[in-house]
Amino acid sequence: MATSPPQRHRQPRQRQPELERDFARSPALGYEAPEEAGLLRCLAHGYPTPLARWHFHDEYELHLITATSGKAFVGDWIGPFEPGHLVLCGPRLPHNWISFDTGDAAVPERDLVIQFRHEPIERAAQDVPELGEVMQLLERARHGVEFFGISQQARAHWEAVKATRGVRRFGHFCDYLADLAQCNDYRLLSNVQIQGVEGEDALNDINRIVDRITGNLAPISLADVAQELGMSESRFSRFFRRCTGNSFTDFVNRVRINSACHLLMQTDHYVTDICYQVGFNNVANFNRRFLEIKGMTPTEFRRQAESRFGGH
């Protein structure tokens, strides 16, 4: 009597990003030794590597791709990359780069990275007005920023930082940040961005509205919010667009779609269930808005998002 082969227990796939801690930053993987790192930590590595995984950390990461092409995952953004792809990721923003064109060969150098912490720069900016434009850059980085047209300068900056120590290294790093802060050819990658508003009262109002939208995905109407602020609907519409760069309806849709992206990436819930969980009451409208904002259907987004673990 034939016996069936033993059944393998299928391990659930890790959906949450992994937190990268200092003890995992081994020089054998390309990191500088701990005694060499001050504010800045330089890293160069090839592919494949244990470092290429869906993960996050407490530092900013300035990431330049020098070889191969594939798919990048930054927060809830999915897009292609090729040599010259330059991204600044903010603290705790999950990310991964998966190369699709390496075949069986290993690539000795694919990534040139600089990691740095927020607090020292924030403290310095309180006394150094010239760092003001850098703080604006770091605010944008919360969503991930992709820069265009400066990859050659970025490589030269990285090499200058890597080759020096002490004040000279920090000076080269400031040159790098200055080029990034002054670069106008960029795009935000993940989630919605609140633009600057004038006046503390206006800032408090818009933050309260945004917190309500992002914290409660139940239906919310422009008329109700306008009434709460004592504004006419037309005045509130102008105010909201000036503060966020979006119409109220577009902003709500973007928040809901971004919430849907997280559920698609981190749960096995059905697409139809996710539609209602994030506040839509019509599946066809949900699919249409998702396609407009993400450039793909929810099902395709989930399928592509699986690649962030290293498969394709």
Q: What is the pLDDT of residues 54-106, one digit of tens each?
A: 888 999 999 999 999 998 989 878 888 999 999 999 998 889 998 989 888 89
Strand ranges in 31-132 using DSSP code E only, listed in sequence order: 40-47, 55-56, 60-65, 70-74, 77-81, 86-89, 95-99, 107-116
Question: Pairing relation of β-strands 60-65 and 18-19?
Answer: unpaired
User: How confident is the model over 149-166, as a mean pLDDT?
Assistant: 97
* Res 12: pLDDT: 42
Q: What is the DSSP letter of 266?
A: H
* Res 7: pLDDT: 43
Contacts of 137 (CB under 8 A, 6+ apart): 88, 145, 177, 180, 181
Give pTM, 2 decimals. 0.72
Give the Cβ contact number of residue 9 at 10 Å: 5
User: How confident is the model over 253-266, as a mean pLDDT?
Assistant: 86
Distance separating alpha carbons of residues 300 and 312, to the nearest angstrom: 13
Distance separating alpha carbons of residues 161 and 171, to the nearest angstrom: 8
Write the pLDDT tens digit of every residue in 26-46: 888 888 887 777 999 999 999
- Every domain of the chain with CATH number 1.10.10.60 lies at 200-309
Examine the pLDDT at 194 and tell me if it is beyond 60: no
Q: Per the CATH hierarchy, to which homologous superfamily does domain 200-309 belong?
A: Homeodomain-like (1.10.10.60)
Distance separating alpha carbons of residues 197 and 282, to the nearest angstrom: 34
Is the bond leading into 5 cis (omega within 30 degrees of zero)? no
Topology given in CATH for the domain delimited by 18-188: Jelly Rolls (2.60.120)
The mean pLDDT value of the chain amounts to: 86
- Every domain of the chain with CATH number 2.60.120.10 lies at 18-188
